[in-house]
A = this chain, B = another copy of it.
């Protein structure tokens, strides 16, 4: 690839008969040039196909005009989880206007994750990062402070981390699911949790327990799992082998619910006749299964765009307050129905 030399600001300045500074001013549209001159300069720039060099601008401004997003690749979960794609699309939407760019990194483990944050920060690749999937006692907060790397946390947390945050209210979603099942007469409602290393797994479990208690039910069928299809299947086998089978299972995500439903069907149970099942995420595919999956629809796209705009403001030293997005919405489909009549109180 023998690049013909790209035009520089000097070329534009010369062609327009002005100084380089004038070109910069024209571009920013602020002050320093008359409207007329500005037009001419922009026309020339457009003509030559000139856009300021990102690295030169970054060097001058001490600003990369880039945001970082580091995903920890939990191989089985990542691929199946539509969260990231939507979240990134949402963030992108905000970055695109603003001439910013997203630097994405995928880390295999904690060590390489840490290394990624470190190098993004010390090389000045990004001006800030988006944080998701909080772990309990997440060590990233300390790291970010040490690196003095601005961040916005796109998740709910108990941690007092001092970064601006954006989150959906999971609790409301779980409560809606439980209410829905109770209305159908279910009393033996089980829960399959996500990986408790993640805060949202713990939070959903706590919300589940609280919701059950509110209805005077005993949360004695909570099985710990890990958000994977495999984990969901195993937890389901375990629940179904108990002496008192649940009449409904609330899963912490769609993927486990789908795998769990298959396990139940394989054992000859009818859904929802014998067993009601609910997911969490609102993945598109849930609508197209047999039976279709009752779930809670979260909004990763909105979460991504909101978090990104908070981060952009935060980097610019504007005051940004925490944002709570509307509660995710219960989507009632075919996998839930009346409790079996044989069920005791």
A residues at B contact (CB < 8 Å): 1-4, 6, 49-56, 58-59, 64, 66, 73, 75-76, 78-82, 84-86, 88-89, 92-93, 96, 99, 101-106, 112, 116, 119-120, 122-125, 148-150, 229-230, 232-233, 255, 258-259, 261-263, 265-266, 283-285, 287-290, 292, 314-315, 317
Contact = CB atoms under 8 A, between A and B. Distances in A.
A163 to B, nearest CB: 10
A49 B290 contact: no
A230 B288 contact: yes
Contacts of A86: 79
A291 to B, nearest CB: 8
B119 A258 contact: no
A124 B233 contact: no
A-B complex: 6 closest residue pairs judged by Cβ atoms:
A55-B58, A262-B290, A79-B82, A259-B288, A51-B122, A229-B288
Nearest to A68: B101
A222 B122 CA distance: 55
A151 to B, nearest CB: 9
Contact of A59 (B56, B82, B285): B56
B84 A78 contact: no
B80 A123 contact: no
Nearest to A1: B150
Given A73-B89, A261-B290, 8 more contacts: A1-B317, A54-B58, A76-B284, A79-B82, A79-B283, A80-B283, A92-B106, A101-B105
A120 B54 CA distance: 9
A124 B54 contact: yes
B105 A92 contact: yes
Contacts of A261: 290
Nearest to A232: B288
Nearest to A60: B55
16 contacts: A50-B122, A51-B123, A56-B59, A73-B89, A76-B284, A79-B82, A79-B86, A80-B284, A85-B85, A88-B104, A92-B104, A92-B106, A93-B106, A103-B103, A103-B104, A289-B289
Given A56-B59, A85-B84, A284 B79 contact: yes
Given A51-B123, A99-B119, A122-B49, A80 B285 contact: yes
Nearest to A103: B101
Contact of A285 (B54, B258, B314): B258
Contacts of A51: 119, 122-123
B233 A288 contact: yes
